[in-house]
Amino acid sequence: MAGVVLHLPTVELAVNRNMELNVPVSYSTSASYSQLAQPFNLRLAYSPAAIILPTTQQQVANAVTCAAQNNLKVQAKSGGHSYGSFSSGGKNGSVVIDLENFQGISVDANGVASVGGGVRLGNLALGIYNQSSRALSHGTCPGVGIGGHFTHGGYGYSARNWGLALDSIIGLDVVLANGTAIHTTSTAYPDLFYALRGAADSFGIVTTFYLQTQKAPTSVVYWQFPFSGLLKNPTAATNAMLHIQDWAQNASVVNRQLGGMGVYMDVDGTFKVSGIYFGDITTFSTKIQPELLRSLPTPVNPTVKTYSWIDSLHQLAGESLQQPTSGYNEHDDFFAKSLVVPQSSPLTSAGLTSYFNYISKNLNNGLAWFSIINLYGGADSQINAIPSSSASYADRSSLWVIQNYGWSNNHAAPFPTTIQPFISGLSNSLTSAQTQTKFTAYLNYLDPSLTAAQAHDLYYGSTVYTKLSGLKKQYDPNSVFWNPQAIGTS
């Protein structure tokens, strides 16, 4: 963002008569404010009371203390990609703690990475690889911040092999609602460690992540198979997806080396299956690929290619991994919904027929949209190998996670009023035809149209939410950390 004021004025925030705290801040009257306040999702723009840009954990603590004593709500901003603009507070008048100055990345001799709470995923991948030839499981969008992504799951195309991004967390430095700064692990404040890994936005501000990295593979296989005309033929599309689903659960063919894959569809009629394989290209081409393509139409211009680890991340991102540490200026104008499909109740012929009929009828509706069905479970998935009781992110039994996403044609205002009902209808086309399935939703594809109660049920379920609600009363009884779907919000 051109014109960002990098050296913000330091102002004194009076906490009480006896203490004044120097904290870098941008107000609505500051030259930097309009750019700092601009959200990723332009459809949901809010005006914070203040945007804090701390450089130390103590300044984070000072700002939280000040906000709490003045009855202001607080939210952290890591990369700012919240689908509901909750990193802008989710309403006007909140205090935003922008962590863009927390950019440290270091890897110790045990492969544990210490990472600042404002680091973006592309810089994270480059930082740990360049220092130590190590890697982490995380998403493909390099501009996304570590904060919400890692603490709300964090799916990527390594997740079936290494687990979710959240599963790499072994420690957190966090500022609590009372201004206390603590270090939490599975043995130090274990109840908070549980809560933060799934619901950190409701419990604290993570200033440093401690992550167990993996040895980066020397190479991986990127593969992609596009198919022509499938979305115009709901029966053919249904049969193709049912076959892909059977293949993904076939333990004689698929194991964790199939790190991740997705079925991508969009308004242009695209239907392609792609993913990453953590093995050699010969095994993929002679064992995995033939079984996947069996009974499917002939793919158009397929790709099966070996990449180095970093080049594979570039390929998945479709853009540079190196991201600005300040002045980030990527935005969209969109609405999205997600569906989590349980392993115990896979997609059915009836559900998929309804879904593809809906798509076929709307291919020429003039709206911009995509739908992607990502494989979380299936044979030997390491996502589902983690006990659900280990963290408040408790979804360890899913097969697919579907994201339905619609945006304005130019990625900017005005937002067409027809997109939200279309995307909702796309999700409903599946759920209404598969009523025996208990669909849930994915935390990182946040749906701001849900009520707090709906969000709590879909994201956590009653057992986990009840536990989180009790911890919220203990650690943040005044709901300092608030957004429209935060734990404790009714």
Give the residue extent of every domain in the chain.
Answer: 105-216
d(CA 4, CA 312): 32
> pLDDT band at 22, cuts 50/70/90?
confident
Cα–Cα distance between 380 and 304 in angstroms, integer? 22
| Alpha-carbon distance values, 39 to 20, 23, 230 (Å) | 30, 22, 36
What are 409-421's pLDDT values in tens digits?
889 889 999 999 9
Cβ-count burial of 187 within 10 angstroms (0-12 exposed, 13-18 middle, 19+ buried)?
exposed
Residue 273 reports pLDDT greater than 50:
yes
| For residues 397-412, average pLDDT | 96
Averaged pLDDT, 413-440: 97
Q: pTM score, two decimals? A: 0.95
User: 105-216 belongs to which CATH class?
Assistant: alpha beta
pLDDT at 394: 87
- Positive or negative, the CA dihedral 318, 324, 325, 331 is negative
What integer is the mean pLDDT of 340-368? 96
In this model, does residue 346 exceed pLDDT 90? yes
Percent of the chain with pLDDT over 70: 96
The whole-number pLDDT of residue 21 equals: 63
The confidence score (pLDDT) of residue 13 equals 46
Structure tokens at 390: 């280990």
Per-residue pLDDT, 154 = 98
Q: What is the side-by-side order of every strand in the sheet holding 105-107?
A: 105-107, 112-116, 205-212, 169-175, 181-184
SS3 275: strand
Give residue-wise pLDDT tens across range 229-255: 999 999 999 999 999 999 999 999 999
Query: pLDDT tens digit string along 128-143?
Result: 999 999 999 999 999 9
Tokens 């604290």 correspond to what residue? 204
Between CA 332 and CA 334 the distance in angstroms is 6
pLDDT of residue 364: 87
**Which candidate, 115, 123, 153, 116, places its Cα nearest to that of 137?**
153
Query: What band does 476 get if pLDDT is binned at 50, 70 and 90?
Result: very high
> 351 in helix, strand or coil?
helix
- Cα–Cα distance, 67 to 470 (Å, whole number): 23
Identify which of 329, 356, 339, 314 has the alpha carbon closest to the alpha carbon of residue 459.
339
How many angstroms separate the CA atoms of 403 and 61, rounded? 36
Amino acid at 98: D
Percentage of residues of the chain with pLDDT beyond 90: 94
Q: Is the pLDDT of residue 125 over 50?
A: yes
Q: Kindly tell me the sign of the dihedral angle through the C-alpha atoms of 432, 438, 442, 446.
A: positive
Position 16 pLDDT exceeds 70: no
C-alpha angle 377/379/382, rounded to 5°? Answer: 60
Query: What's residue 12's pLDDT?
Result: 42
Q: What is the pLDDT of residue 18?
A: 27
Please give the pLDDT value at position 36.
Answer: 97
Q: pLDDT digit string (tens) for 37-54?
A: 999 999 999 999 999 999
Size (the chain), residues: 490
| β-pairing verdict for 95-98 and 50-52 | parallel
Q: Say whether pLDDT at 85 is over 80.
A: yes
pLDDT recorded at residue 20: 44
Question: Of 178, 474, 468, which Cα lies nearest the Cα of 489?
Answer: 468
Query: Does the pLDDT value for residue 1 go beyond 70?
Result: no
Give the mean model confidence (pLDDT) for residues 94-111.
98
